[in-house]
Amino acid sequence: MTAKKEDKLVSLQQAAALVRDGDTIAMQGMGTQMSPLALVRELIRAGKRDLQVAMVVGGIGLDWMIAAGCVRKVMAIIINLDEFGMANNFRRAAEAQQLEIEEYTEHTILTRLGAGAMGLPFGVTRSGLGSDILGLHPDTTKVIQCPFTGKPVVACRALEPDVAILHAHRADRYGNIQFFPKPIWTDVDVFPRAAKKVIVSVEEIVENEEIRRTPERTGIPYFKVDALVHLPYGAHPCSLFPRYNFDRAVFQRYADESRTPEGTKAFLDEFVHGLKTHDEYLAKLGGPAALKNLEKWD
């Protein structure tokens, strides 16, 4: 991919094709918030395999991907459905030892990605000192001594994911990605800087002139974006603050149905495999009126 000032707008299928089997993908997500779930559904439909997924907080999208057999390894700090409870497919796969798990503290995985973003071989933190977490991955975290004070710190080996996938508010066709408000969560901040390729879906495509009127809103410059997909409500059932809230009904339904592998399969058949396009997905949710209803925040 190049970083050129050219039209980056592609179809959902074309974007998914940039992710190759075996890739390490850095995937945005924070509980019930901001996750590129339309992209995730397409990765599942496209039958991706052996993915190594790096996240801070793994949620509903990761649980789908694990259930669908896309994932070989997860690197994260927690994987659950937030207030809706366990991520059951993660749990089952882990207990059946069908999934490689690299559990980190938040600041150790961020320091790994931050070093990747900075082109440094490693970074340091104090997070995790004294815990058993560090012992899980001596190849990527190691206690070393400060060369000035002798104090112990945790060296974290750089991680440069092959691809970062994100969902954001809007962009121009060149891939100048804007957020309102500007990046808050860690993944929006460091994932695109750390990854070799960056795929972003957005709610809205605007003219380049509109971006130039509001440069303070741009979070990722076009020269770091490889592919752009126009996917309104592309985070659903997660929220995209302040545009729309998460879909409590769909979260609860998945939490209930995913208690069994069969229930999970039925859910994925209905919400992923059974819908070939994002338009079909939106239609299934009940069309514009139903989606409008998600915009309530109280």
Give the footprint of its own copies on this chain (CB under 8 A).
118-126, 139-140, 142, 144, 146-149, 151, 153, 155, 157, 180-182, 215-216
* Cα–Cα distance measured from residue 177 to residue 191, given in angstroms and rounded to the nearest whole number: 14
Cα gap 77→80, rounded to integer Å? 10
Q: Which x/- pattern over 89-118 shows residues binding other proteins (rule: CB under 8 A)?
A: -xx--xx-x---x-xxxxxx-x---x--xx
Taking the least distance from each CB to its own copies, the nearer of 137 and 265 is 137
124 binds, among its own copies, other proteins, none (CB under 5 to 8 A by kind): its own copies
Q: Which one of 35, 52, 127, 201 is in contact with other proteins (CB under 8 A)?
A: 127
Q: Which does 3 bind (CB under 5 to 8 A by kind): its own copies, other proteins, none?
A: other proteins
Closer residue to other proteins in complex, CB, 219/232: 219
User: Which is nearest to 293 in space by CA: 231, 256, 246, 223?
Assistant: 246
The footprint of other proteins on this chain (CB under 8 A) covers a number of residues equal to: 80
> Which 155-214 positions form the footprint of other proteins (CB under 8 A)?
172, 174, 176, 181-186, 189-190, 193, 208, 211-212
Between the two ends of the chain, the Cα-to-Cα distance in Å is: 42
- Residue 114 interacts with which of other proteins, its own copies, none, CB < 5 to 8 Å by class: other proteins
Residue pair 68/48 in contact (Cβ under 8 Å)? The answer is no
CB of 45 to other proteins, least distance (A): 27
Subset of residues 209 to 238 that bind other proteins, contact rule: CB under 8 A: 211-212, 215-216, 218-219, 221-224
222 with 195: CB under 8 angstroms? no
Closer to other proteins by CB, 59 or 281: give it: 59
Q: Based on the shown chain and the rule CB under 8 A, indicate whether residue 133 belongs to the binding site for other proteins.
A: yes
Site for other proteins contains 4 (CB under 8 A) = yes
Q: How many degrees, rounded to 5, is the angle at CA 170 between CA 275 and CA 25?
A: 60
Nearest C-alpha neighbor of 86 from the set 114, 111, 58: 58
User: CA-to-CA distance for 102 and 287, rounded, in angstroms?
Assistant: 40
List of E strands, 152-286: 152-157, 163-171, 177-178, 197-205, 218-220, 227-230
Pick between residue 80 and residue 186 the one whose CB is nearest to its own copies: 186
Of 151 and 296, CB closest to its own copies: 151
Euclidean distance between CA atoms 226 and 121, whole angstroms: 24
32 binds, among other proteins, its own copies, none (CB under 5 to 8 A by kind): other proteins
Q: Which amino acid is at 118?
A: M
Q: What's the closest the beta carbon of residue 156 comes to its own copies, in angstroms?
A: 9
Q: Which of residues 272-291 bind other proteins (CB under 8 A)?
A: none
Q: Binding partner of residue 94 among other proteins, its own copies, none, CB under 5 to 8 Å per kind? A: other proteins
Closest to its own copies by CB, 241 or 263: 241
Q: How far apart are CA 185 and CA 129, in angstroms?
A: 24
Strands (E), the chain: 24-27, 51-54, 57-58, 71-76, 78-79, 100-103, 122-125, 141-145, 152-157, 163-171, 177-178, 197-205, 218-220, 227-230
